[in-house]
Amino acid sequence: MTVTTRRMLDLTVHEHTLTVPLVWGDDADARTIDIFAAAVVREGGEDLPYLVFLQGGPGSETASFHDPTSPSWLDAALEHYRVVMLDQRGTGRSTPVGDDDLQRPAASVAEYITHLRADSIVRDCEAVREELGAETWSVLGQSFGGFTTLTYLSTAPSSIEHAYFTGGVSAVGRHPDDAYALTYDKVKDASLAYYRRFPEHRDAFRRLAERADAGAITLPSGEVVSVSRLRSLGMLLGANEGWQTLWSLLERDSATNAFRYDLEAALPFSGRNPLYYVFHESCYADGVVTNWSAERTLPQEFRGDVTLLTGEHVRREWADTVPALQPWREVVDILAAHEWPRLYDEATLLESEARGAAAVYANDIYVPMEYSLQTLTLLPGVTPFISSENEHNGLRSGTVLPRLIDLAHGRRVR
């Protein structure tokens, strides 16, 4: 274990690097990885309790804290906590997974990746908590980080003082097919709402899809954009400001450099964080094989109307058509056939006596409100905050976390 301390304005940052088992609970497996966590403390807050932030994804490192204005929720969190920014295993400075790993056989890489899920992240969190000398701490889970928080409450609930969820209360005891089917309904509603606001853009998108179908849109990376990749721009509609990016793209001349570069920047599932594509569906796999669930559950209505955009729905064909993802094609096929262990335990959740608050977004196209509210019946001590003011990334607004903290502590909501 190593610790480095840095000062930034009124913040002190203690950077911890721990070496932990790749496979928790298997003493016969000697493989290890590094886990990086930065404990951020504001001057005068040295005795405050800890809050660990679990990032969305899966496959993304924690939010940056080097700019005091980013992330936008950090200022509010530091009023009440010392904040631990954890790079989840396989990301950032926690032994990241990248293209260099593909020098090993695909089966070996896939097996390695099976040990990077929420259940292992929870064990890493416990190691960090013990390293910090904290008997308990609170957890803030954004999106996939909320899924991981549910796993935490299923395995080590006594370690959590308060659990805060922001757009991250997953379905429990359901097949990924159920979740993806419902998210298609959500993104269809978002697509139609966008076209009602900008009716001329429906034809504009149809024309773009025709160009993509003809192989006429090539990105600076060399990717020839497929129709399914183009439709994945619907993910933008799940963010507060995302519609503005979509509007800008559909207003541009698709033959220009500006369009091609902006489109490349807007498309999800890039090569920067390959894990996000490679094992994305595993986050919904509560004891099942995914077998390209999102692709299989594409509704017939979507097959007949190219203007209906898609959301966080990965496609197998991208492993053949997206240059940055092509090296991973064998790995993704192996993982799609992998039987994932269970992540949640309903009885433990119900008995956990978990306390906290959960932001549930009424129009969330990533994590449907209906399943979130069902899951929250297993956590009666976690107060739901249902809002139509924000989309899935509402935590970034800076107003959500203070409200959750007030709710969790029984204070009048601001």
> What are the pLDDT tens digits along the chain (414 aa)?
688 998 888 899 999 999 999 999 999 999 999 999 999 999 999 999 999 999 999 999 987 765 555 688 999 999 999 999 999 999 999 999 999 999 999 999 999 999 999 999 999 999 999 999 999 999 999 999 999 999 999 999 999 999 999 999 999 999 999 999 999 999 999 999 999 999 999 999 999 999 999 999 999 999 999 999 999 999 999 999 999 999 999 999 999 999 999 999 999 999 999 999 999 999 999 999 999 999 999 999 999 999 999 999 999 999 999 999 999 999 999 999 999 999 999 999 999 999 999 999 999 999 999 999 999 999 999 999 999 999 999 998 889 999 999 999 987 655
| CA distance to 85, 177, 219, per residue, from 323 (Å) | 32, 28, 11
- In angstroms, how far apart are the furthest CA atoms of the chain? 62
C-alpha angle 140/95/33, rounded to 5°? Answer: 95
How many residues are there in the chain?
Answer: 414
Residue ranges and CATH numbers for the domains of the chain are: 2-173+344-408 (3.40.50.1820), 176-336 (no CATH)
- Global pTM reads 0.95
Distance CA 186, CA 194 (A): 12
Cβ proximity of 117 and 18 under 8 Å = no
Preceding peptide of 71 cis, ω within 30°: yes
